[in-house]
A and B are shown apart, each in its own frame.
Chain A
Amino acid sequence: MEKSPVLIPKPKPLKPHNDPLHIIKTRRTTHKRPATIAGPMVRYSKLPFRQVCRQYDTDIVYTPMILAREFVRNPHARLADFSTNSNDSPLIVQVGTNNVMDLLKFVEMVSPYCDGIGINCGCPIKEQVREGIGCALIYNRELLCSMVKAVKEKYGEMLRLETKIRIHEDWDQTVRLCRDLCFAGVDWITIHGRTKNTRSSQDSNFEAIRYVVDRIHDKEVPIVANGDCLQWGDVQKIADITGAHGVMAVRGILSNPALFSGFKKCPWSCVEWFWYYTLEFGGLPYQLLQHHLYCMLENMEVPRNLIKDLMNIKGTSELLDWFGDHFELRRYGEPRFATCADIPWKNQ
């Protein structure tokens, strides 16, 4: 039997409430602060975590990087890499790719279900760089700009396209890349203030981001600053130094998803929301669940011996019982669910 022609939906309509470019451009006026963005984390920015971030003043949330090549060829990869729902917005799907063809196919398949697409040009993992993906792209200006141009020529204002880059050793190369990306039609650029070879233990270079911002000012393309946003106080500081329209947190928000709400430590409510969303949306691989909770509890300064216990647990239900043994873990629908910031210790 012959297959009927496939009806491909158009990109999701952009309105002020879900248009990431509008949000990035207007937050300073409407909220007296830069736009707040939860960046992409390998493995960790899955739907339950994204929903927790949205509870705490995060304007825009990214998915983890999804490899275009796999996504457009493999139904299992699609199932494992991307799930969403009607509350998962504004959402940027980050893509890892090294060619125009795969990128255009990926955009066609994903754009009806997200609010923007970001090309990963910052990942320094050598397995990706070797394949021409991630930060290999900042050394291949021509290819990167041709990818941006191809997408924007096809979709224009119907689709938002971002590139997340790292700085070069020579900042003028970053300026040149950004100016070319603006010319190719990119909607905004996120700049991580580290080079491909800078270790995460070294500070992010905000002066370098400022250097770029000042030199592409005439292009009117907003810049989002990334790197070392570990607490609320860093948000305004980074925005002031860099002149960026938005600030992206990654490691900081993994440990404290309420960072953008001004909580200095991860509030207990994040743990309760995270348990709820994880089980409500259909679970997470156990190691991911465990790592998220480890990061949150460590941020709350739960004693090391208890955290060590947590890391020895081997399954979801046993972990749930462990939480019940040590803390008052309220379930969704129970009184005072997700209302508590301090750790509700049991037997204290």
Chain B
Amino acid sequence: MGDSEAAVNSVDAPKGSTAVTANPPKSTISVDGITGEVTVRKASGKVKVRKGQSKEEYENQLYDYFQLNAGPKRTEEKWMDKVDPLALLQEVDLTIKLNRQSLTNFCERLYYQKRYPECLKLGQELVRRYQEVNKKNKMQREIEELEYMIKRSIDK
């Protein structure tokens, strides 16, 4: 099938929507122009619906993004010098991987900077706290990384 035949295909498109056909048209996609709901109809006949977003839902996201977080994450050089990771450790939910990664990164930066006594102290505290929430040993790799830094910091 040539490219020109795979252009816009408005068949089955609901009101206010556009339809997109991938090339070659193994699937048909209908987009609701108001909510952004996307319906993907695969060649097998299966239909996948990607939910739209209401005005209110979007406004909640805007509030979270602009009002609560002041935009995207900004990491200037030396930003970590202004944060006390031990204080942060008391505030964040350690069952969330992103939070643990962020704390481990403080330890790795200290290791890179050859600040071994500080790395050792933070590493030991992180291991202790991670083990408290380490269900089914899912954090094994993260704990091993910290234990490696602890051992090497003692050696150095």
Contact = CB atoms under 8 A, between A and B. Distances in A.
A72 interface: yes
A280 B78 contact: yes
Contacts of A84: 72-75
B144 interface: yes
Contact of A6 (B7, B59, B76, B104): B59
A184 interface: no
Given A4-B67, A316-B145, A131 B40 contact: yes
Interface in B42-75: 42, 50, 53, 57-59, 61-67, 69, 71-75
A78 B74 CA distance: 12
A7 B40 CA distance: 35
Interface residues of A, number: 64
A49 interface: no
Interface stretch (A136-144, A235-243, A263-271, A294-302): A136-144
A276 B113 CA distance: 9
B55 to A, nearest CB: 11
A113 B72 contact: yes
B122 interface: no
B102 interface: yes
A132 B58 CA distance: 22
Nearest to B109: A279
A67 B115 CA distance: 39
Contact of A136 (B23, B77, B149): B23
B34 interface: yes
Given A101-B36, A279-B108, A282-B75, A132 B29 contact: yes
Closest 8 CB pairs of A and B: A283-B105, A132-B20, A101-B36, A139-B23, A83-B73, A281-B75, A132-B29, A99-B31
Given A98-B29, A108-B62, A320-B111, 17 more contacts: A6-B67, A72-B58, A75-B69, A84-B73, A84-B74, A98-B38, A99-B31, A101-B34, A110-B72, A131-B38, A131-B50, A139-B7, A139-B22, A276-B112, A280-B80, A316-B108, A317-B148
17 contacts: A6-B62, A8-B62, A75-B65, A79-B73, A82-B73, A83-B74, A83-B75, A101-B31, A113-B71, A130-B26, A141-B7, A168-B3, A173-B4, A280-B109, A282-B75, A315-B145, A331-B114
Interface of A: 3-4, 6-9, 47, 69, 72-73, 75-76, 78-80, 82-87, 98-102, 105, 108-110, 112-113, 129-132, 136, 139-143, 146, 168-170, 173, 196, 275-276, 279-283, 285, 314-318, 320-321, 331
